[in-house]
């Protein structure tokens, strides 16, 4: 069995996914795991964590024939490239300016587009078609817009839900930390309920407001959600029609296949 290890490195989480390449470009995701992102972790710490998770699923290092990486944390770039060489014996495919995407990028400086946003757009077009708006609920919440010609137009970036809540906890000394979750009722009957409702529905309102404006400018667009908090927030947003938590991993698989002919 020939397997592809896809690694998506975000500011909060490192997500690992395994694809079975024997089934071609539509290879399914076999399994995935989520680790906390740490800039201080060594190659060996990441490598041993990956091996332990894989062995728990009955996957050995020798079955990994290819590695694809998307990373928005520059200090971890050399760490993950070394992990690929040292633990799997392969040179990783790294998403960076110049990779073959099959998609025009129409922003002012395409080289500054984050790898995660690029990968999400490629996967979103493949999975849902165009025009399309992708909302990625991560450390930041990003909104990426693709027109009917499958061209990447740009988007918006706002503070993520956890960052917004953390600002409230730090600046309001008498307010306790609360779990970020959909509350049982809108009107809280105590401080904790009131905070949960305000944080959660305040954020939902922001997302709905931005999407409403985007849909006026880009009528007919499908709206897909991904990212660690997609399953928490998206069900409460009327404009979001699709939830795809593994969209970035799927994008890494698609880009790996598209770039095989051009790799040295």
Active site residues: 116
- Closest C-alpha among 82, 79, 78, 101 to residue 90: 82
| CB-based contact 95:69 (threshold 8 Å) | yes
DSSP string, 91-110: PPEE--TT---SS-B-SS-G
User: Beta-carbon neighbour count of residue 177 at 10 Å?
Assistant: 12
- Closest C-alpha among 203, 247, 240, 208 to residue 224: 240
* CA–CA distance, 5 with 124 (Å, rounded to integer): 20
* CA–CA distance, 50 with 17 (Å, rounded to integer): 10
Q: Structure tokens of 143? A: 């909104």
User: Beta-carbon neighbour count of residue 22 at 10 Å?
Assistant: 9
Find the length of the chain: 264
DSSP string, 173-211: TTSPP---S--S-SS-SSHHHHHHHHHHHHHHHHHHHHH
| CB-based contact 139:10 (threshold 8 Å) | yes
Q: Structure tokens of 39? A: 């800039």
Pairing of strands 64-71, 93-94: parallel
């Amino acid at each position: 069995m020939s397997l592809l290890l896809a690694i998506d490195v975000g500011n909060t989480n490192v997500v690992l996914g395994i694809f079975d390449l024997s089934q071609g470009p539509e290879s399914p995701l076999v399994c995935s795991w989520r680790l906390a992102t740490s800039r201080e972790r060594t190659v060996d710490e990441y490598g041993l964590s990956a091996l332990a998770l894989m062995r728990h699923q009955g996957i050995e290092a020798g079955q990994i024939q290819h590695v694809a990486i998307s990373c928005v944390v520059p200090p971890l770039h050399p760490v993950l490239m070394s992990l690929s060489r040292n633990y799997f014996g392969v040179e990783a495919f790294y998403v960076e300016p110049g990779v073959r995407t099959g998609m025009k990028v129409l922003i002012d400086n395409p080289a500054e587009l984050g790898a995660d946003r690029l990968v999400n757009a490629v996967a979103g077009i493949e999975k849902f078609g165009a025009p399309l708006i992708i909302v990625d609920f991560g450390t930041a919440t990003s909104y990426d817009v693709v027109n009917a010609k499958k061209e990447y137009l740009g988007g918006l970036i706002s503070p993520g839900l956890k960052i917004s809540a953390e600002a409230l906890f730090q600046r309001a000394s008498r307010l306790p930390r609360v779990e970020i979750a959909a509350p049982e009722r809108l009107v809280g009957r105590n401080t904790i309920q009131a905070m949960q409702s305000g944080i959660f529905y305040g954020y939902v309102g922001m997302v709905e407001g931005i999407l409403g404006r985007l849909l006026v400018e880009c009528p007919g667009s499908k709206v897909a959600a991904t990212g660690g908090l997609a399953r928490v927030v998206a069900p409460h947003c009327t404009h979001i029609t699709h939830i795809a938590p593994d969209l970035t991993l799927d994008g890494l698989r698609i880009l790996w296949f598209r770039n095989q002919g051009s790799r040295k």
